[in-house]
Structure 1
């Protein structure tokens, strides 16, 4: 009976979220989910750059012959790009790890909204930090890809799957920052310290 009364008192003391706050948090969750899907598609396809009849990717290197037939190999050293074989292992590992971390972050964001308790704001903050970490990893992968293939890069050579990863990295950043910001303006840290 005492535990039930304590829970009721906590429920009354906990501030109710406004419609605007709930809407913004739901929008952040939706955008993170879209970013995870875009990044997953981009990694699975992996063909990010088409230049001079060559298709460079995370998993394959392809060439187009005289008969317009695409010939792909998994031995990336055949691309005649210095460090590409080892570099692509790093790139695909980093971007794949970014997606895994983003999924955990998304999970924390959703749980914080579905299961309203004393720790829900902390879960939201942790989820937002994980999303920002995903941004750092995915942007590192994208930049490493650009550095590896700097001699072959043309703006029109980037494929749709590359732009999916680029947009996903941008969404990770935007939503991670937004998540932390909305938590700070709706639940200032000074109030957390007092509790």
Structure 2
């Protein structure tokens, strides 16, 4: 009889306590917002045209000028923009922003796996996913900041394109959801206490 009781305790120790509806809703909302941020950031990086100023369109991948016939003439040689250090600066900006998307995808996957495969490691997976999302925020914000510093002489508020604002919003969402993910993990019932049952 004692062996059966010990075995039952071991089985219960590996089961995770059931989450409340509110906690499940919040975690699902965080996952949805991270997915939206990944899509926004991906679109922003792929398009890459972030600033239109003085008849010139500055992007992560191309530099464009507007001709007399209002047709954009784009080149991949960014040195033609006559901005000091633009070639190296854009390589840095697009590298960290692209890396931010990749890191965010891995973070999103960990968040989803922690909710689908419910086990004793779910809380740890959620924490790791949230940390990766915060890392995505650091990478994407550093890419945006380096872009702004590089083109500080051309910046106007109305000159920023829709894809730039997509990246800006994505960076904000990465920060908010990463912090929210860590916070909800700390305030909810610590699943690893089940092992001490």
TM-score, structure 1 as length reference: 0.93
Partner of 1:43 in structure 2?
45
Query: 1:51/1:160 Cα in 2 relative to 1: closer, same or farther (>3 Å)?
Result: same
Alpha-carbon distance in 2 for matches of 1:167, 1:48: 13
Query: 1:144/1:194 Cα in 2 relative to 1: closer, same or farther (>3 Å)?
Result: farther
Unaligned runs of 5+ in 1: none
Helix, strand or coil: the match of 2:61?
coil
Helix, strand or coil: the match of 1:15?
coil
The count of corresponding residues between Structure 1 and Structure 2 is 194
Q: Does 1:146 align with 2:143?
A: no
Q: Does 1:156 align with 2:158?
A: yes
Contact 2:14/2:195 (8 A) holds in 1: no
Contact 2:103/2:132 (8 A) holds in 1: yes
Unaligned runs of 5+ in 2: none
Q: Tell which has more relative contact order, 1 or 2 (C-alpha 8 A, sep 6+).
A: 2
Partner of 1:24 in structure 2?
26
2:11 to 8, 12, 15: 8
Partner of 1:80 in structure 2?
82
Partner of 1:65 in structure 2?
67
Query: 1:192/1:129 Cα in 2 relative to 1: closer, same or farther (>3 Å)?
Result: farther
Cα deviations across residues 15-45 of structure 1 (Å, max 9, x unaligned)? 2100000000000000000000000000000
Helix, strand or coil: the match of 1:89?
helix
Alpha-carbon shift at residue 67 of structure 1 (Å): 1.4
